[in-house]
Structure 1
């Protein structure tokens, strides 16, 4: 089937919720994708942060084949060694607690919202308010899109679920004014991904901790995009002096398979009861076995490489910033990097011109070029990108 035929069938049979580039791929290997157009593309998107170890990583491919030939799923009515092993591993790199498995970031955050409401009800019938930040992104279900602090995603979906309020990003005074005894939880992202690669400030984190002591609410860290090594640590919250009560995960943990996880501190586990929440495919044997292999790949050496290459990219981009006045700021940690352009530069034009040079990048926020390269990226590939970007924007 030709690309034109695929596009025509897609437009005829797929609901038009996505705006796609006129491009498609039939194969991927490492940091590269191979298109129907016969061209090879350097992928700095990792499937929007999903394929952190690149396309068709041999360890992950081998595990998929091995587990699929043995057992794919049995539902959550029965026990599973693979599910238990994955939960134990996640607890070993976060904090003592328990895990709920699902299939996506939205589902992981939906579970966190339910947990927060259940926690609030143990204290007061009125303690159900959930805070999140402007510019945040937490999913597309009706509850998680309400938690998302961007009105463009909520358009025409009203009435939205009640009990959500938004704090201006990194604004300590606004946080103080919105927090009260009726707050059951606050959602945080160590670095806002869809919001434009914007990191939280230490001052804001300190105020969150102070207000938690005063009002007794859960701190939920959404690590869907930032987790599993993306920022140079296992999780973005580890860059701050804080330990969350809940951590939500998806994207990279599945190595390309749909996996979500919600990790809850042990002191709160007693609020969870059988039947309160569920996911048919959550924690299935195939997904759990593959996710465990992903975590095995995430070694200290890998984190060291992420930081080394990330610092290299940021350094090169800072050089370009000094050269071009229309680059306002370079932001990020590890291999989660954003280039904030002045309004007179259309970031989508930059993305399309890079695509013409066979390099795939992403947009974030209003006018930010977002880079989420796979962890297997090399200095040579960084050089290819920097050279192409310089040619595109000069």
Structure 2
């Protein structure tokens, strides 16, 4: 769907979001990321004015269901909007969409107590969530290997876990910990999801993990030692942890891929601006064939990924099986994002690897994209197995 085929209301909303992201959120990036690097997380002095502005402009939590305090946009409308939000890494925090996956998870599987204590403050932006899935001792791409355990003791659940890359735990009010509760069950029914407040006795943030030369991402290593929480903190049913995780990750991958488009488009614009103003070896960079190839290939990759992502989103929105399409866009999108930003850095030369442009930070985030929510290799293998078994299940069939 092109912009001209969207509803007039969505076109207007995208335009207002674009102005807010480009004019206000991008302008706040330097101070935000400097504070984040120095303290592990940027404080309210940066975020609160942006959040207040987003709420005043009617741009807050637009993809969250209305019944929990959100804007109630349809899935497809929010997919289109996420492309604009993604232009800034700060965008999700500024407009309240950073909590969307967790909010929908709590809305779908949480009790009324969960909704009152965690969900409504989450949608309002008063607290932050975190999720404890990955563990340093085992492969994160195979969740059946998780070693975290939880057992029921009277009215309590006792949790023991060692997790890492629990992003945002250092500023979160709670962590949804996935742990083994039923060791004798089948592989995908052994695990449950448990809401653990981060101020619980025995909950320890071991460190903020340095990643690619910085610590500003808030990727935390945590340890839970005999942490007791009420049994009512069980999210969903006992043994439903794997199902809950998959329902969280499926739409999340589409949202990631649309945000990556925003990042790639911004890098593309920076590359074109640099190429048309930088003079070297007798001409502007834009007049050199190799740079023109960078521009053309980047445009082709961005557009192909955009169409693939929208196709996956439409299939999911209509209730069709979109597993192949989602796996395709996950590894294709991560590669696209890396390639486009890499070319933009090359056109900028030394400036591109400095902190004077957002490109070096964007490049770092692009490398993470090939790992989180499933590494590229797992998604490629999944697609290949399904297509070899049934070539007729290909997206074009």
Question: With structure 1 as the length reference, what TM-score do the two structures score?
Answer: 0.26
Question: With structure 2 as the length reference, what TM-score do the two structures score?
Answer: 0.26
Tell me which of the two structures has the higher relative contact order, counting C-alpha pairs closer than 8 angstroms and 6 or more residues apart. 1
Which one has a larger percent helix, Structure 1 or Structure 2? Answer: 2
Which one has a larger percent strand, Structure 1 or Structure 2? Answer: 1
